[in-house]
Amino acid sequence: MRHTPTGGAGSAGTASSAGKPVSIGTVLTLLREEFPEVTISKIRFLEAEGLVEPKRTPSGYRKFTQEDVQRLAGVLRMQRDHYLPLKVIREYLDALERGERVQLPAQATPSRDLVDGVHVPDEERPTAARIGREELLAAAEVEEAALADWESYGLIAANDDGSYDIEAVTVARLVADLGRFGLEPRHLRAVKAAAEREAGLVEQVVAPLRRHRNPQTRAHAEATAKELATLSVRLHAALVQTALRVRL
């Protein structure tokens, strides 16, 4: 029986309380409530390091239990709050599994270039949450042919290096859900076009701020963009609901 690390259950520990094993994409969503920078690559890395052992379906997909999610949250919490390398965390967890009464190791000195317990130069540090194609397929639980079809209609697009922004997982899931109602990718091009127009409006507002020489003003531009994006999404949802009520 694996022990859950100390440090509080957190939102990630309680969100899967139904007890049903969940996919790696769902785990990502649960963990990102507390750990916004976590990625599927990070989860798979922790698995490869033996810090979590999800079960596998006959088709090879990972299935994580509630205990797995709590364990991952605990590991991430120890990295974030105590700056502990994975080797130390693993030894601590192994001691707990042996039934030993051990205390959490002393907090280490934070390092600006520490990634997964390894010192990495600034130019090699990740700057955005990105995933590979196989990870996107696994997280969204879709087939290669479906993803290729969505890409052909511009609903999902890879970066120049072939990776995908983490938001592609959400887009893929939503497109798949809409597909169950008979909405095909060609039907969703209008939604994509509307989103691009809304993004254009936001960019018009924040572009002058982003070009400003003052760093604080540039930082304010990012916060403004996020707020405008949230308001735009809320307005879009309200207008759709209003239109549907008119037509009923």
Interior/surface letters 108-126, b for 16+ CB within 10 angstroms, e for the rest: eeeeeebeebeeeeeeeee
72-86, 93-107, 190-204: lowest mean pLDDT where? 93-107
Closest to 5 in 3D by CA, of 66, 69, 70, 54: 70
How far is residue 125 CA from its own chain's centroid? 18
What the block records as the tokens of 92 is: 């601590």
Q: Which residues contact 127 (CB under 8 A, 6 or more apart)?
A: none
Per-residue pLDDT at 11: 52
Q: pLDDT per residue over 175-194, tens digit each?
A: 988 998 999 999 999 999 98
pTM of the model: 0.48
What the block records as the tokens of 53 is: 């052992």
CATH of domain 10-124: 1.10.1660.10
Average pLDDT over residues 12-38: 78
